[in-house]
Amino acid sequence: MVKIKEYSIVDLNAIKETKEKILKLYEQKGFFLAQVKHTLVFDPKTNEADLTFQIEELDKVKIRKIQFIGNHIFSDEELKGVMATKERGLFSWLTKTDNYQEEILKGDLEGLTYFYHIKGYIQVKIDPPQVTISPDKKWIYVSIPIEEGDQYQVGMIDYAGDLLFSKDELRKEKKIEPNTQFNRDLLRQEVLRLADKYKDEGYAFANVNVRSDIHEKTKKVDLTFDFEKGQKVMIGAINVSGNSQTRDKVIRRELSIHEGDLYNETQLRKSIDKVRALGYFSEVTYTKPQGSSLNMLDIDISVKERSTGALTMGAGWSTIEGIIGNAQISHNNLFGRGQTVALNAQLAGKSNTIFSLSFTEPYTLDTHWSSGFDAYNVKTHVPDAYDEKKSGGDVRAGHPIGENMSTYGTYKLENITLDNVAAGREELIQGAGVISSVIGTFIYDTRNNRFEPTNGYYDSLSCEFAGVGGDHHFIKPVFNSRFYTPSFWDGTFRVNFEAGALARTTSKVAPTSERFYLGGVNSLRGYQPFSLGPKKLDKNGKEVLVGGDRELFSNIEYEIPLVASMGVKGVVFYDVGSAFEGLDIGKIRQDVGFGFRWFSPFGPLRVEIGFPILPKEGEKKQVVQFAITPPF
């Protein structure tokens, strides 16, 4: 901040500039009335001077009122919603948006002008704001004069300059239409679309200028797009930096551009989006410096690594299970190769023991085939019912069948044994035996990030057919659909929907572990894990959870950043669904809640607090759940 050095020559201009910088810093912190003075004490013997800056901070000045003068089309509240500067409010202590900052207010004036332009008011005039301070010097009042003018429509649209395409071709898929409301944002999108058509043909420096002819009488604007194509450009060197852990080839295999190719803007953007979608990096940026010749452009891709591994250990105690211990090691970018591995162990004294290992190679032998396997050994004690041991695993392979679609095939082999089956529950014994099944899966994925998506779709349809040998015969289709879109306050609106069914193809009862149970952090978050589903009375007249052969549930949530610099987010959610038998959907269960998320160095942490809507007797009225897994 203070660039004046000791023993340097006294420079009054430098002192003045330093005082202005100090004042600007205080202004950014909300100390709008801060004062900075200086004193110079000369010593004639040494011909030196001592410089002292005297700062009087005073109190922070907050914005009490923002008002507009001359606006008739849009209300004050609509215009305030466009601004980053805000009046004093309930959450101002957290957001600090009520601090008066001149630079931010200047940016707000540009934002207001843009807002009017996208609404068709292209001749709006916004004068400098009038800022007044209350007598006690604690509050600021801002008045912004506006002349809105008239609303304009788009008139004729024409094209000129270096035309590579016919005018009819240029009009295809256009963003703006004649005789519609003028919209500056749509005009910007149209300029980008037209420029991309040229850049996709190798003209990387193509420029599209817009000439506008305003007609006062008809309130229309004629637009002419003037093209300057420049010269064709080839792609020179593609350089990758910042990947201290991830190998170059993991990034490069996502690129659809190559050195020596004709420059293509669309393919470059898609390539960068695919690198971002890996989820391995918190930042992915690129530049296009001059290559080895005038008709060459290098592509420099810079990434910032993020933690993709997790080591977690935990212990607890439950009245049902006794002492519980859990340890998990997982990595989504093993040794920087893009491979995924997870090893999990859980020991619960009275009920559960789980060991599992999972591995996935997304590019087997550097081809587009993915492959992987799972192995597990699970022991479960169900009170007053049975003890189950399930051992097995699967192998899988997949291949893309389009730009965003992939298909996978899986073979699963699993052995189930049941012990200590309670009297009156003998039918469960039929659930023991070997499951030998094949699973086919189709996935359509346009998410912009695999672990923290904010835009796009994810749809999957799988169907398991058991009966390829083994003791059990059933069909189990499951459909899952997810939707993500950016929204206000830099938040993300997310929807998850899942439907599944289980149908046996012989008279033998399907294993209870294949049935559907809801509740928990990945379904209905206001209920205990796997606590919802059809129940039946045992020999003692006690209700026992048996699960459903159908499931239907949805999650709706809104996620917003709380501390963006640290990656801390907040979420509010609503869940609804049911696990049921046959066509009787039963009672639909619902919950609402909120939570906090942090993509920590140990993995994606989630704390979510759910509140059941109309809980049944014996169900908790509040459920707190902690997980180290990504949300849907």
The full set of domain ranges for the chain reads: 12-56, 62-147, 153-228, 234-305, 310-362, 368-627
What is the rounded CA–CA span in Å between residue 140 and residue 132?
6
Superfamily of domain 234-305: membrane protein fhac (3.10.20.310)
- pLDDT at position 424 is 67
* pLDDT one-digit tens code per residue, 261-296: 999 999 999 999 999 989 889 899 999 999 889 899
- pLDDT at position 325 is 59
On the question of a common fold for 62-147 and 234-305, the answer reads yes
- pLDDT at position 23 is 82
- pLDDT at position 551 is 96
* Cα-trace Rg, the chain: 32
What is the rounded CA–CA span in Å between residue 75 and residue 270?
40
Residue type at position 252: R
- pLDDT at position 69 is 95
Residue 17 CB contacts under 8 Å (≥ 6 apart), including other chains:
none
User: What is the DSSP code (8-state) at residue 92?
Assistant: H
What is the rounded CA–CA span in Å between residue 605 and residue 626?
8
3-state secondary structure of 305: strand
What is the rounded CA–CA span in Å between residue 326 and residue 240?
39
Give the closest residue to 214 by CA, choosing from 125, 126, 154: 154
Matching residue, tokens 């672990």: 451
Tokens matching residue 302: 């810079």
Matching residue, tokens 């295999």: 253
How confident is the chain (632 residues) per 10-residue block, as mean pLDDT?
77 84 75 81 84 80 88 92 79 59 86 95 94 80 94 96 94 91 95 96 95 94 96 95 92 94 95 91 92 92 82 46 61 88 73 82 93 91 74 95 92 91 72 92 92 92 94 95 92 96 88 88 88 80 83 96 85 96 89 89 79 89 80 86
- pLDDT at position 30 is 63
Residue 106 CB contacts under 8 Å (≥ 6 apart), including other chains:
none
Residue 500 CB contacts under 8 Å (≥ 6 apart), including other chains:
476, 477, 478, 479, 516, 550, 551
Residue 60 CB contacts under 8 Å (≥ 6 apart), including other chains:
29, 30, 31, 32, 99
- pLDDT at position 512 is 82
Beta bridge partners of 324: 316, 348
Matching residue, tokens 């083994």: 470
* CATH (one of 2.40.160.50, 3.30.1330.30, 3.40.50.720, 2.30.30.100) for 368-627: 2.40.160.50
The H or E element that residue 93 is part of is helix 92-95
CATH topology of domain 153-228: Ubiquitin-like (UB roll) (3.10.20)
Alpha-carbon separation of residue 118 from 58, 174, 184, 224, 305 (angstroms) = 41, 17, 5, 18, 38
Q: Print burial letters for 500-538: b (CB count within 10 Å at least 16), e (below 16).
A: bbbebeeeeebbbebbbbbbbbbbbbbbebebbbbeeeb
Phi (first) and psi of residue 64, to 5 degrees: -85, -40
What is the rounded CA–CA span in Å between residue 592 and residue 574?
4
What is the rounded CA–CA span in Å between residue 589 and residue 238?
53
CATH topology of domain 62-147: Ubiquitin-like (UB roll) (3.10.20)
Tokens matching residue 167: 């005018």
Give the closest residue to 64 by CA, choosing from 137, 142, 158: 142
Surface-to-core class of residue 606, CB atoms within 10 Å of its CB (0-12 exposed, 13-18 middle, 19+ buried): buried
Give the closest residue to 344 by CA, choosing from 610, 624, 603: 603
Q: What angle do CA 298, 300, 302 make, to 5 degrees?
A: 175
Give the closest residue to 525 by CA, choosing from 617, 450, 631: 631
- pLDDT at position 102 is 77
Instruction: Write out the DSSP string of 391-449.
Output: EEEEEEEEEE-SSSEEEEEEEEEEEEEEESPPTT-GGGGGG-EEEEEEEEEEEEE--S-
Tokens matching residue 128: 């400098």
- pLDDT at position 326 is 61
Contact indicator for 394, 412 with CB cutoff of 8 Å: yes
What is the rounded CA–CA span in Å between residue 78 and residue 86?
12
